[in-house]
Amino acid sequence: MNPDPLAILLQTLLLLLLAPLVSGIIKNWKAKLQNRRGPRPWQVYLDLAKFLRKDMVISEHASWIFSFAPYVLFTSALLAGLMVPTLATPAPLSLFGGALALIGLLALGRFFLALGGLDPASAFGGMGSSRDMTLSAIAEPALMLAIFTVAITAGSTDLSQICRSTQSATWRLLNPAHVLAFAAMFVVLLAETGRIPVDNPATHLELTMVHEAMLLEYSGRFLALMEWGASIKQLVLMTLLANVFVPVGLAVSEAGPGALALSLLAYLAKLLALAAAVVLVETTNAKLRLFRVPDLLSAAFVLATLALLSTFLFQ
């Protein structure tokens, strides 16, 4: 049960390398669906490399928090990712925390991101921080209830344990509790990763922006950390959806390289399917007004409550 350094290293590399690609694919597919050519899927890597090489400008009003926030955001998202099984159960750091620690770590990153937005004394940053903290707070009960639903079925908050229990023989793709909880989590995924209809990741300097507003004063290598951290967070949440609800192909840690390769293929297929779903939602919907977003999120909460109720009806 002790953490295996090799597994940690491999999963860290997987998360680091895969996260920008997923963001790039979503951007590319979205452009295709809107009859544009769009950036190549690997453009995000090039962007990150460029940000890393560039000089950095730091606001004269900012304090040490501004420089501290990117590190916290990046490492906390990465650590959260190490608690989710990607290719095999158990996840490398299952011992250090499960679903609750994952939610906590994402909250830690968000806390510092919001402080980083407030620090340079610009009105935009404060606006982004205020909106981001509000929306994530409203999304939190739905997320927690959806996690509670699967955790109750598994009798554990350990994500590896949850995956293993859904993997067992009694697992059905269309178990109503899981379908409803999945739907709730999907809405939360849209909100947490700043996707349309909650936020528009393609806007800069518009009064509707949420996540981008907080990054406005970041440049150079700090911006790279922030962007990379955000894409890792997106990957972590997508992995959570993919492996907890559809544990198809997930290997066990003792499996040989062949099983792991098969598991990698299944994992990528699931991620691409989720990315396609996100792209579809983003192109077919308009951005909601800020004060309509709580309606969407409370719908997610209702879905999660129904999921919970159905664990009790169909067990």
Partner 1 sequence: MTDFPLSLLGVALWAYLAGAAGALVFQRFEKLANGFGFGMAAAGGLCGLVSCGAALASGMPVASRSIELFPALIPLVRFAIRADALGCFFGLIVSLLAVPLSVYSLGYARSYFGRRNVGVLAALFNLLLLSITLVFLADHVFFFLIAWELMALSASILVCFEHEQDESRGGAVLFFVMSHIGTAALILGFLLLFQASGSYAFTDFHALGAKLSASRRGGVFLLFLFGFGIKAGLVPLHIWLPAAHPVAPSNVSALMSGVLIKTGVYGLIRVCFDFLGAPPQWWGVAVLGLGTVSAVLGVLFALMEHDLKRLLAYHSIENIGIILIGLGAALMLLHSSHPMLASLALIAGLYHTLNHACFKALLFLGAGAVLHATHTRNMEEMGGLAKRMQWTSAFFLLGAAAISALPPLNGFVSEWFTYQSLLQGFGSTPSLIRLMFPLSGAMLALTSALAAACFVKAFGITFLAQPRSAHAREAREASLTMLLGQGLLVAVCVVLGLFPGILLKLLDPLTHQLIGERLSQRLSLAGGLVLSSGAAQGGTVSTLGIVLMLVALLAVPIVLWALFARGARTRIAPTWDCGLRGLTPHMQYTATGFSKPLRMIFKALFRPRREVQREYDLSPYFATTLRFESHVEEVFQTRVYRPLKWLVLRFSRRSRALQAGSIQAYLIYIFLTLLALLLFAL
Please report whether residue 207 would count as binding partner 1 according to CB under 8 A: no
Residue 43 binds partner 1 (CB under 8 A) = no
DSSP string, 103-114: HHHHHHHHHHHH
Close Cβ partners of 285 (under 8 Å, ≥ 6 residues apart): 196, 197
> How many other β-carbons are positioned within 10 Å of the β-carbon of residue 161?
19
Of 97, 194, 197, 247, the one binding partner 1 by CB under 8 A: 97
Q: Which of 163, 238, 240, 308 binds partner 1 (CB under 8 A)?
A: 308
82 binds partner 1 (CB under 8 A): yes
DSSP secondary structure letter of residue 169: T
Q: Is residue 269 part of the contact set for partner 1 (CB under 8 A)?
A: no
Provide the token pair at 113: 């991101």
Cα 44 from Cα 25, distance rounded (Å): 9
Q: Is 303 in the site for partner 1 (CB under 8 A)?
A: no
Question: Nearest approach, Cβ of 32 to partner 1 (angstroms)?
Answer: 30
Considering the rule CB under 8 A, would residue 54 count as an interface residue with partner 1? yes
- Smallest CA-to-CA distance from 265 within 280, 277, 248 is with 248
- Tell me the closest approach of the beta carbon of residue 180 to partner 1, in angstroms: 14
Q: Which of 86, 89, 161, 263 binds partner 1 (CB under 8 A)?
A: 161
Residues in the chain: 315
Position among 19, 22, 88, 114 found at the interface with partner 1 (CB under 8 A):
114
Residue 95: Cβ-neighbour burial (10 angstroms; 0-12, 13-18, 19+): middle
Task: Provide the residue type at 130 as one letter.
Answer: S
**Residue of the chain from 36, 61, 172, 204 that contacts partner 1 (CB under 8 A):** 61
Separation of alpha carbons 83 and 11, rounded Å? 10
Does 203 interact with partner 1 (rule: CB under 8 A)? no
94 touching partner 1, by CB under 8 A: yes
Choose the binding region for partner 1 from 20-28, 173-181, 218-226, 267-275 (rule: CB under 8 A): 218-226
